[in-house]
Amino acid sequence: MTCTCLQCSQSPACIVNQTCCTDSKPLRDHNKHRTLECQGLWNHRPPESFEQCRLFLRVRLLSGLFASHDARAGSLTEGERMTQKILTHSLILASLFLTQSPALYAQIFGKNHVQYKTFKTKYIQSTHFDIYFHEGGETLAEFVAEIAEQSYDELQENFRYELIDRITIVVYNSHNDFQQTNLSLGPPEESVGGFTEFFKNRVVIPYEGDWEKFRHVIHHELTHAVMLQMVYGSGMQAILSGMARSHLPLWFIEGLAEYESRGWDTESDMFMRDAALNGYAPKIDDLSRYGFLAYKGGQSVLYYLAQKYGAEKIGELMNKVKITKSLERAVRQSLGVEINDLSKSWHKHLKKEYWPDIANRQEPHEIAKPLTDHVAYRNFINNSAALSPNGDQIAFLSDKSDYFDIYLMSAIDGKLINKLVSGQKTDNLEELHWLRPGISWSPDGKFIVFAAKAGAEDELHVVEVQKRKIVRSLKFGLDGVFSPTWSPKNDEIAFVGTRNGQCDIFAVDLQTEKLRKITDDIFSDLDPSYSPDGSRLAFISDRGSYLDATRLAPDFKIWRSDYRNLDVYIIDAAGVAHGGKIEQITNTPFLEKSPVYSPQGDKVAFTSDRSGICNIYVHDLATREEYPLTNLISGAFHLSWAGDGSRMTFVSFYNAGYDIFLLKNPLDLKPGEITVEKTTFLTQLEEKRKAQRDTTMRTAAEAREDRILDKYRYYVFGKDFASGIITPREDRIAFDDTARYKSETGEYIVRDYKTKFTPDIVYGNAGYSQFFGVQGQTQISLSDVLGNQRLDLITDLFYDIRNSNYLVRYFHLPRRTDYGLAAFHNAWYFYSSNVGLMRDRYYGLSLLASRPFSTFRRLDAGVTWLGINREFMSTTEVPLERIRVLAANLAYVTDTALWGWTGPNNGSRSEFSVSLSPKIDANNGLGFVTLRGDVRRYYKFFKEYNLVVRLAGGFSEGSEPQQFFLGGLDNWLNQRFSGGIRIDRPEDIYFSSFETPLRGTNYYEKTGNRFALMNLEFRFPMIRQMELGWPLPLSMYNVRGTLFTDIGAAWQGEIGKYERFQPFKDSSSRLPTLNDLLMGYGIGARANLGFLLLRLDIAWTTKLSHGASKPRYYFSLGTEF
């Protein structure tokens, strides 16, 4: 999506605000003016007073550029990230400059924030941070306070920098709560594990049941927040001014956050090993374009620098970035090399580090049969494989359709049998928990169970496999539900559940639906798996030696324990409340995951990174002997063992994607047959630890290295961050003593949250002209900490009140139904050859509401009172024209679309609306009712090709029906008009609607109170990459092409009378001749330049029987419809 300032004529599709011109001066004469077109925000339709407010309800609050902890970084395309980035820039510009526009009707698609809860918020404070939390989240807030201060201590030492402002952290009890935040542009998807926004430098994070992951996200996001202050300063004004001067690459920003929060770890080692061995590691300059490599690759570069130059070199590099505002110059000054030379040496390091592994380890397809192929599927994730009880079928999760779905395939040959569940399109299947997956079969093999987000909370869904139908759904009032496992003997399902910052294992009796806890303590309990007789459960936990939670000291704090280690445990299925005992199976400083019982119940298989790579191990419960089953060159995850023991499935990451593999007769391998060597990274780590233990005195740099060595733990995915640039301040603030924040007993003091407005943006300038008088512009945006209340004042003072634009608006967002109120006044000047100069004063009051039913569906409503005064400045013979209008609108909107490089590329969107204005008397009201529909469907095949079908139509009835202007396309730069620009009737400016695209035609090509429009497009990759040396050094990649056909008509009509619309007329040709129908076709190209999206279309019109017209060339801006 792009937001651009362009010069155009007066039309309801483009008149928005006179004050957004490039020279910041309003144009007050003749028939041209500057306007701000935010394409994509209104999706090819003009905004209107109450509809523009609706836009701001949809985006909730404009939070600037985000540093987001996005676990799906590896599967996000560069197009998706770039589209998100352009949208973000568009929203910032819109928030700064938009006032009220004159059009009556606006169309806004997009997924919804849904507030299912009314949160009761409190906060605590630490020395440098204000931590806001919700009911039940006291322990989480305390954990955040402790970890944030520890993290800042490290960042302060490493960066040699002290904070100049306090940082706000907002904590949510679960990801479901997190998705209800008003601090993000859109509802955060499952892959987003946290983000940092820069209007007020707030960190926003959820707890997801894993303390180590929680710690990682806290440190990662604080790195972003501290870096923002260090490099750019503090405050929105500084941010925007800094954005104009420099831009740091994504790989450096995300790589730095990963490096500071993890140092180096086995999961990052896996990613980079795979990239090095399969030859897809790009140059450093290109890392930002390659999904997870923007994060793991950036982390690898910084880890390499720390190894080669010393850990203190990272802090020196950061300070050079702060001074130079350029990473290239900072690298040159601190390292003495150019980025290209650094890239070559880094690549050489990767080869030396990982190529020797080829001889000593096995690729997954060498030891097991691949059942999925992410290269052939052209996807990223195939996981959560679950073998049926007899071992002949596998249910698994995959994003091969771009959405996460559950499929059924043969365990014999890997052929797909059916799609069992289509996810991410319906209210009860909003998300399928691909990061915490779990699919389990019923003992009879007729059903599977899985967990999914379904509105306010998670549900367990039971699917009848043969019918491919959900036959039962269970809700428990928990914050999160994950990893279900079906008891092989008892009619119950165990699963992981979270509530109020505690992650435990639960079980539900399927007969009574009674819920009981199996574990009940502060520790993270994950990945449950039943024994064959159903009497015991194997699971993963960070509890260490704390096997009996009842013996914990009253003052026990989780952050004081070693929560970074995960081991295998076994518990009686009766649960701790009924005397069930916990037994520790493994005890290593590494990460064990995904335990499964052998069919005989005498062994437990699990994965462990004890060699530096996640391999499969077996633990004999009788002898306590452990031995490996694999020696993989990449990791193994998500184990499933067939009931007869003949088959085991696992998931492995190889060649930049996750696939499912089948290992036959795993127990045929005996102890000692497989030898697993430690990776170079793990060997070096142990050697350094030994050397450090022998050293009594260490330098600060060595101390830093010690912290790096402790951070090799496993974590799944990276983060996503769109950076902003701001100006540093020299001043420092004094941070109060810790005693102010804690009671005499050492507990944090909990305070009630009170709504307090603080500035997001304060901008203004003023001046005086001898000709125009007083002039000035002001933008003041206020909001509370949680983004629940927003207040904006936007003014454009010119000469006097009558000639000025001003807007005051308020949004109330904390509950499910969102409300808004806006008062506005605008003045526009037009020039007519008949009456000379005219001035329209357009003012009014808007009330609006938006009620989302789910992420994908909502109902929008608004009521606006409008006043329009048209004054004729060049003559006194024409009296003042006054119009008073009461208008209302109701719209039902759906959106399941996914975005690509230039626009939506999968899913569907629709809107059905009714708008009306009653006729009050001769001078008040218009007297119309308008019905309108717009349906769009995006079909995707071969991953890069799309067929797009759009059907739109509408009609208006009444004494003064609305007019539809058919022709042209949105944001048309070299626009043309049929019959001139229609400014004589205010109704044509303020209450009409432009219907586009119909390429090959002009604006106003057809006019009527009815219209129908069909657009067909075939979209395809046109240019992969292009480098220009002249006339400008310009790089373009992923230029998309389109073949299109547009067919439409607009006509004047009445209900029940169709003779006025004549689509065809008689023709002597074999082909019919189009009459009222218009038809255009052609070819186009779209180039995403980062800061805007440029479109070129070459179109022809045809009457069918008369052949084609001469080609027309259309240059335009904005995303595809």
Query: Average pLDDT for residues 124-138, to the nearest whole number?
Result: 96
809, pLDDT greater than 90: yes
828, pLDDT greater than 70: yes
Same domain, 565 and 432: yes
Tokens of 117: 């809860």
Query: Average pLDDT for residues 224-247, to the nearest whole number?
Result: 75
Tokens of 1049: 């008509």
| Whether 988 contacts 830, CB under 8 Å | no
Predicted local confidence at residue 769, as pLDDT: 47
Tokens of 109: 């698609």
Predicted local confidence at residue 771, as pLDDT: 43
User: Pseudo-torsion of CA 304, 310, 312, 318, nearest 10°?
Assistant: -30
Q: Computed from CA positions of residues 291, 293, 299, 305, in that sequence, does the dihedral angle turn out positive or negative? A: negative
- Integer Cα distance of 212 and 265 in angstroms: 13
Same domain, 32 and 67: yes
Nearest CA-CA partner of 136 in 155, 117, 149: 117
| Whether 1044 contacts 1082, CB under 8 Å | yes
- Flag whether 1067 is in a domain: yes
74, pLDDT greater than 50: no
Nearest CA-CA partner of 968 in 14, 6, 3, 2: 14
Confidence band of 873 (pLDDT split at 50, 70, 90): confident
| Whether 1074 contacts 1064, CB under 8 Å | yes
- Which amino acid is located at 921 in the chain? D
Q: Is 617 helix (H, G, I), strand (E, B) or coil?
A: strand
- Flag whether 150 is in a domain: no
Same domain, 355 and 369: no
Beta bridge partners of 660: 651
Predicted local confidence at residue 664, as pLDDT: 95
| 669 vs 1105, more confident | 669
Predicted local confidence at residue 118, as pLDDT: 92
Lowest mean pLDDT among 54-63, 542-551, 803-812, 1040-1049: 54-63
- Tens of pLDDT, residue by residue over 401-452, are 999 999 999 999 899 999 999 999 999 999 999 999 899 999 999 999 999 9
Confidence band of 1110 (pLDDT split at 50, 70, 90): very high
932, pLDDT greater than 60: yes
Range of the domain at 700: 263-361+682-718
Same domain, 896 and 1043: yes
| Whether 937 contacts 948, CB under 8 Å | yes
Same domain, 516 and 567: yes
| Whether 584 contacts 566, CB under 8 Å | no
Residue 273 CB partners (closer than 8 Å, separation 6+):
353, 354, 357, 633, 634
Predicted local confidence at residue 37, as pLDDT: 26
Decide: residue 879, CB within 10 A, 0-12 exposed, 13-18 middle, 19+ buried. Answer: exposed
Predicted local confidence at residue 823, as pLDDT: 96
322, pLDDT greater than 70: yes
Lowest mean pLDDT among 263-267, 737-741, 990-994: 737-741
N-terminal to C-terminal alpha carbon distance within the chain = 10
| 253 vs 835, more confident | 253
Residue 352 CB partners (closer than 8 Å, separation 6+):
none
Same domain, 287 and 342: yes
Kind of pairing between the strands at 904-917 and 881-895: antiparallel
Predicted local confidence at residue 799, as pLDDT: 72
Confidence band of 1071 (pLDDT split at 50, 70, 90): confident
Task: Using the CB atoms, write b or e for 22-60: b if 16+ within 10 Å.
Answer: eeebbebeeeebbbbbbbbbbbbbbbbbbbbbbbbbbbb
735, pLDDT greater than 70: no
Lowest mean pLDDT among 132-146, 731-745, 870-884: 731-745
- Flag whether 714 is in a domain: yes
Query: Average pLDDT for residues 300-312, to the nearest whole number?
Result: 96
- Counting every residue, how long is the chain? 1121
Confidence band of 236 (pLDDT split at 50, 70, 90): low
- Flag whether 442 is in a domain: yes
| Whether 919 contacts 959, CB under 8 Å | yes
- Tens of pLDDT, residue by residue over 455-507, are 989 999 999 999 999 999 999 999 999 999 999 988 999 999 999 989 999 99
Total Cβ atoms within 10 A of residue 162 = 14
Same domain, 331 and 476: no
- Tens of pLDDT, residue by residue over 957-984, are 999 999 999 999 999 999 999 988 888 8
Most confident of 27-41, 54-68, 598-612, 1031-1045: 598-612
- Integer Cα distance of 236 and 61 in angstroms: 14
- Mean pLDDT, all residues of the chain: 84
- Flag whether 240 is in a domain: no
- Flag whether 794 is in a domain: yes
Same domain, 660 and 695: no
Percentage of the chain lying above the pLDDT 70 cut: 83
Tokens of 391: 């071992």
Predicted local confidence at residue 1092, as pLDDT: 84
Confidence band of 779 (pLDDT split at 50, 70, 90): confident
181, pLDDT greater than 80: yes
| Whether 95 contacts 62, CB under 8 Å | yes
Kind of pairing between the strands at 129-134 and 167-172: parallel
Nearest CA-CA partner of 569 in 525, 509, 608: 525
Question: Residue 880 belongs to a domain with what CATH number?
Answer: 2.40.160.50
Final residue of a domain: which of 676, 692, 709? 676
Nearest CA-CA partner of 597 in 488, 516, 508, 493: 488
- Flag whether 837 is in a domain: yes
- Integer Cα distance of 94 and 99 in angstroms: 9
Q: Is 449 helix (H, G, I), strand (E, B) or coil?
A: strand
Predicted local confidence at residue 237, as pLDDT: 63
Tokens of 359: 């001889």
Confidence band of 1030 (pLDDT split at 50, 70, 90): confident
Same domain, 942 and 961: yes
What is the radius of gyration, based on Cα positions, of the chain? 31
Tokens of 41: 């925000």
Q: Is 934 helix (H, G, I), strand (E, B) or coil?
A: strand
Position of tokens 């890997």? 414
Query: Average pLDDT for residues 762-770, to the nearest whole number?
Result: 60
Same domain, 356 and 368: no
- Flag whether 401 is in a domain: yes
Same domain, 710 and 665: no
- Tens of pLDDT, residue by residue over 87-128, are 333 333 333 333 334 444 456 899 998 999 999 999 999 999
- Integer Cα distance of 382 and 75 in angstroms: 11
Q: Computed from CA positions of residues 49, 52, 58, 61, in that sequence, does the dihedral angle turn out positive or negative? A: negative
Nearest CA-CA partner of 393 in 460, 434, 441: 441
Tokens of 237: 């004004």
Beta bridge partners of 764: 778
> What's the pTM?
0.86
- Which amino acid is located at 374 in the chain? H
Same domain, 629 and 702: no
| 377 vs 2, more confident | 377
Position of tokens 């050293």? 695
Predicted local confidence at residue 15, as pLDDT: 24
Query: Average pLDDT for residues 773-777, to the nearest whole number?
Result: 61
Predicted local confidence at residue 38, as pLDDT: 28
Confidence band of 1120 (pLDDT split at 50, 70, 90): very high
Confidence band of 386 (pLDDT split at 50, 70, 90): very high
Final residue of a domain: which of 676, 706, 738? 676
Total Cβ atoms within 10 A of residue 108 = 24
Q: Per the structure, how many domains does the chain have? A: 3
Question: Residue 384 belongs to a domain with what CATH number?
Answer: 2.120.10.30
Predicted local confidence at residue 671, as pLDDT: 92
Q: What are phi and psi of 275, to 5 degrees?
A: -65, -40
